[in-house]
């Protein structure tokens, strides 16, 4: 039974969900919801009964001491509410319902029905599911974040992609389908985490999810120390990669594939999205915001590139063309992709995921894209671990590797 007597009436509530486990590579998604809860001091108003949904031999309870008193904490899923007094910079309030927990071990349909019951009672207008997967994407580039939905109308109105994925799925995919069938508008955002540095935490991926969420729901999210944490994380991975020649070469291959695949986007939609975010955050009363490492390239970086010019616009006469001087740009753009790099930045999903490649633990179900698409997906199916340099590919048992959890 759902009892919400102590909860005030919410204003235009949006439910944001993330679950540890298979859908949470690098703990990026659960950390994003945790960040929102800390920044806005969310108040927990409900917890699902752990006995109904969790296998305690898989997700064991923990024991802690508080003032000499032992306390047992059971794995569960909690719901908290936050009120944003000035959600859009114009004095308009909005409420968020944060759902954070562990992917359940059993009774997924009952689990989803219970979450939907809360959404109905609270008058939730939109459900946003956050996820992260392992992909062939370089850590030195912006984190790819893909927004997907099963609702064609929502895809058009919110600039999302319709899911086309077929294959194994996690609780994010099941909950998205349950919400869609119940008539609740639902979208999922997926960040691609480099498979060769999948250990949590990954503040850069968390930051990317929050910025995409900011764009999606139009709420200015305070980033706190996340930008600095993301810079420190990338610096640390740079140092680890530099110590292993094989890893450094592999990262360079991914960079070349990514740059070739995303150059058109970098000059169009991504720039517009970054500029809109800048305009929203320049309000003096909103406090300082540091630029997101995971967002699109700065405008200066993109505008400094010299555009190809017509022969008559160049210095000198038309003899330059006879020497083949006008083919430089074309030759650079037509370079074949390196072996081991994907050639497609699109997504092939069915329940919500990014175009980054995945494995059994990175391959999402209806919420995750398939292995055929991604940023630099490896044709030979090999991964490289930044710590050891050994090439390996996680097994397809679908258990826990994506989030670094069993």
pTM of this structure = 0.64
Residues in the chain: 406
- What per-residue confidence (pLDDT) applies to 255? 84
The whole-number average pLDDT for the span 128-143 is 92
The C-alpha atoms of residue 311 and residue 320 are separated, in whole angstroms, by 8
The C-alpha atoms of residue 187 and residue 43 are separated, in whole angstroms, by 24
Q: What is the DSSP string of 6-45?
A: TSPPPSS-EEEEEEESTTBGGGHHHHHHHHHHHHTT-EEE
For residue 174, what are its two tokens?
Answer: 């099941």
Q: How many CB atoms lie within 10 A of CB 7?
A: 17
pLDDT in tens, 88-97: 777 788 899 9
**In this predicted structure, which of 35-39, 121-125, 189-193, 283-287 has the lowest mean pLDDT?**
283-287
The whole-number average pLDDT for the span 156-180 is 91
For residue 312, what are its two tokens?
Answer: 């008559």
- What per-residue confidence (pLDDT) applies to 302? 36
Of 52 and 300, more confident? 52
pLDDT in tens, 302-340: 334 444 444 444 444 444 444 444 444 334 433 444 444
Name, in order, each residue with C-beta under 8 angstroms of 312's C-beta and a sequence gap of 6 or more. Answer: 318
Name, in order, each residue with C-beta under 8 angstroms of 172's C-beta and a sequence gap of 6 or more. Answer: 17, 19, 23, 129, 130, 131, 188, 351, 352, 364, 367
């Amino acid at each position: 039974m759902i009892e919400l007597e102590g909860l005030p009436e919410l204003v235009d509530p949006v439910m944001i969900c993330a679950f540890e486990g298979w859908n949470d590579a690098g703990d990026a998604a659960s950390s994003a919801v945790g960040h929102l809860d800390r920044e806005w001091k969310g108040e927990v108003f409900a917890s699902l009964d752990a006995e109904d949904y969790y296998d305690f031999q898989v997700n064991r309870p923990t024991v802690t001491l508080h003032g000499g008193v032992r306390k047992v904490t059971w794995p569960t899923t909690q719901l908290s509410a936050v009120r944003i007094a000035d959600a859009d910079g114009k004095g308009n309030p909005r409420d968020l319902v944060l759902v954070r927990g562990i992917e359940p071990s059993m009774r997924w349909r009952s689990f989803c029905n219970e979450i939907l019951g809360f959404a109905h009672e609270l008058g939730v207008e939109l459900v946003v599911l956050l996820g992260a997967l392992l992909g062939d994407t370089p850590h030195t580039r912006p984190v790819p974040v893909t927004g997907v939905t099963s609702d064609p109308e929502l895809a058009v109105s919110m600039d999302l992609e319709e899911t086309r994925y077929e294959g194994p799925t996690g609780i994010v995919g099941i909950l998205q389908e349950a919400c869609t069938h119940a008539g609740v508008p639902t979208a999922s955002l997926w960040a691609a985490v480099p498979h060769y540095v999948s250990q949590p935490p990954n503040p850069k991926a968390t930051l990317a999810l929050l910025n995409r969420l900011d764009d999606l729901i139009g709420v200015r999210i305070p980033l706190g120390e996340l930008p600095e944490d993301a810079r420190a994380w990338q610096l640390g991975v740079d140092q680890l990669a530099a110590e292993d020649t094989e890893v450094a070469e592999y990262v360079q291959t991914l960079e070349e594939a990514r740059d070739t695949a995303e150059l058109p986007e970098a000059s169009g939609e991504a720039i517009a999205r970054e500029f809109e975010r800048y305009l929203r955050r320049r309000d003096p009363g909103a406090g300082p915001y540091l630029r997101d490492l995971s967002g699109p390239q700065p405008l200066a970086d993109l505008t400094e590139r010299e555009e190809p010019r017509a022969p008559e616009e160049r210095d000198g006469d038309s003899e330059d063309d006879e020497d083949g001087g006008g083919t430089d740009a074309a030759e650079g753009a037509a370079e074949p992709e390196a072996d081991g790099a994907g050639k497609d930045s699109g997504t092939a999903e069915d329940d919500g995921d990014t175009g980054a490649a995945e494995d059994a633990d990175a391959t999402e179900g209806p919420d995750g894209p398939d292995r055929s698409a991604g940023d630099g997906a490896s044709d030979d199916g090999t991964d490289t671990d930044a710590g050891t340099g050994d090439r390996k590919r996680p097994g397809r048992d679908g258990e826990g590797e994506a989030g670094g959890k069993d």
